[in-house]
A and B are shown apart, each in its own frame.
Chain A
């Protein structure tokens, strides 16, 4: 495999509705930004780029098949190679990794990954129906297809199993909304309190409206390249770019129906799913043994095995042995406050069952921001410094790429330049992870990005 650099990116403003432009033109906003950030003209870049990967989730929202080629066409990329990927909420993360593969394999030297979603073309509850069609239409959808309902069932199980509290969930909402207060790309820039989150309208008990991300229109673009591609871009622009390497990718899957998720034994968990730092720690092994003795089974409906396997693979590829210490920040798929907590555990930031206390500990917060919370510990690894999906919005096909763009900017140290505000810049950020998640945990991708010395 060749070295792959994530060299530039762009994000359109995420908004509840973008009737001012068609989806192709919204993607072009992000595309033009990414090109301009390289110091190149549109025609120069289009001469140098070898091809693309397109990301959008739902043909229903656009009511348009082959929307990917319409973007390719609008961006002036025809007749270069391109294809569309789709994998629910993880579509953007999958797109990033497919573009990585195109470069790593030697097929392309410069590949552009673009993604979008236009969710405002239907009313919110019809949008929820479209999203719920990403559950088994024979057995799950007809029972009352509603993703917030599916996630709320995971929450009740997590609470029962581990004692997780709604206040711990609310910490995630407060953190991500307040982070987004400093991110001009975010759809929601509000300062909320724990009380605000709990007093918001109940959607699916115990998740309130402020525990759940919103629907958005938006687009994001990432440019990936090989060393040769980087040399070509630099020669054309006369600039030297900050090197951000993609040092590892990982992907996992799980059964479409939550009801089918296995209840694995302790031995199978330790053999297949435990991370090396868990396997090597006698305390942790004993902790898990005790969980199993009390009826815990893995992954059940409280944990995302796909997220764990994606993390495990990405960490192996990137040489990460202790994620909480080795990662300087994470942009993860917080479609729900609860799924951020579940993902802390999948990504090995804490042990399974400890996600609730971890959320309220302060370890995942951004240093120097007043959240109005009494946090007992210092930040170690900010999670969703951008504000995540909960505050930035979740235009599905763009989301995983938006995370990549924010990660590139963190590692280039250019958050202030792009946000007009340095508050969210993780000081000295050398290594970050992006995590994209589909369905009820069906496809999950984790990619590791690092600043090259």
Chain B
């Protein structure tokens, strides 16, 4: 059995307190002693529900629920974005929707052993930038079906296949990638 950790995890829960130490008498000495107090630290929570709009990028998310990954293309130059973009950065044109290939290759990747609070419980996880034949930009996605203990730079260039969540969450992670077998 593994050794117990040497340090308890710090959390922000605690005891409700209704009074705090304070000088009994606010004479000159009592008032002066206030400058020697330790600072008070209190818990403040902050929770917000947003009604976030995907705006012009919405068809991309609808596409994922239908097992299709959409990208955008400039109608004149053909410059193609793997991550949706409503207007082209070179011509300013409104882009058109195109269907991306189901297969791509790993352009860059990492294995995250820590993360933001929201994703800590998912560690270790693999982030990868995916490139596609004939597409000018990349797409950030999760890569799975690989062994983090076998991590290697050789993963760059690996052929990967898109997979889709059956129960879509209307998030970019509704598509993820696995190595082509």
Contact = CB atoms under 8 A, between A and B. Distances in A.
A20 B74 CA distance: 55
Contacts of B129: 153, 157, 258-259, 301
B81 to A, nearest CB: 7
A160 B154 CA distance: 8
Interface in B144-159: 148, 151, 153, 155-157
Contacts of A123: 10, 12, 117
Contacts of A140: 140
B141 to A, nearest CB: 6
B52 to A, nearest CB: 7
A238 interface: no
Interface in B54-92: 54, 57, 81-85, 89
Interface string A258-284: 111111000000000000000000000
B46 A63 contact: yes
A146 B119 contact: yes
Interface string A141-152: 011111011101
Given A123-B12, A139-B83, A259 B116 contact: no
Interface stretch (A104-112, A199-207, A318-326): A199-207
B39 interface: yes
Contacts of B109: 153, 156
Interface residues of A, number: 46
Contacts of B128: 153
A19 B41 contact: yes
Interface in A92-146: 123, 125-126, 128-129, 131-132, 137-140, 142-146
A21 to B, nearest CB: 8
Contacts of B82: 259
Nearest to A18: B39
Nearest to B116: A129
Given A63-B44, A259-B137, A154 B83 contact: no
B110 interface: yes
Contacts of A125: 114-117, 120
A236 interface: no
Contact of A157 (B107, B122, B151): B107
Q: Which 10 A-B pairs have CB atoms at the shortest separation, nearest pair first? A: A152-B110, A129-B116, A157-B108, A259-B138, A125-B117, A153-B108, A205-B111, A19-B39, A128-B116, A146-B115
20 contacts: A123-B12, A125-B116, A132-B116, A138-B54, A139-B57, A139-B83, A142-B171, A142-B172, A143-B140, A143-B142, A146-B114, A146-B119, A153-B109, A155-B110, A160-B108, A201-B113, A259-B83, A259-B138, A260-B85, A260-B89
Interface of A: 19-21, 63, 123, 125-126, 128-129, 131-132, 137-140, 142-146, 148-150, 152-157, 159-160, 201-205, 207, 255, 257-263, 301
